[in-house]
Amino acid sequence: MAERKSPVRNTEKCSVVGCSNPVERSVAREAAEEGGLDIDEGCKRAHLCKDHYREWKRVTKKEREIGSLGH
């Protein structure tokens, strides 16, 4: 939806280990790791490509739903 501007430069690569796609979004490193993403060491923030951002959003959303159901 609100994808007009990217907060990071396109020259950067995705922070997920093994991924070198251009960055689409950046999120807190801890948040990304909570979503099951393997973030490159030394990155304070997780810069995610489009695919990983989508994946991360899906996972974190799911976890939140599960968590609210009596954890």
Binding site for Zn ion (CB under 5 A): 14, 16, 19, 21, 49, 52
Helix (H) or strand (E) holding 27: strand 23-28
How far apart are alpha carbons 71 and 12 in whole angstroms? 38
CB 26 to Zn ion: min, Å: 12
Among left, alpha and beta (phi > 0; psi -120 to 50; other), residue 70 is left
CB 39 to Zn ion: min, Å: 10
Nearer to Zn ion, 25 or 52 (CB): 52
Nearer to Zn ion, 21 or 30 (CB): 21
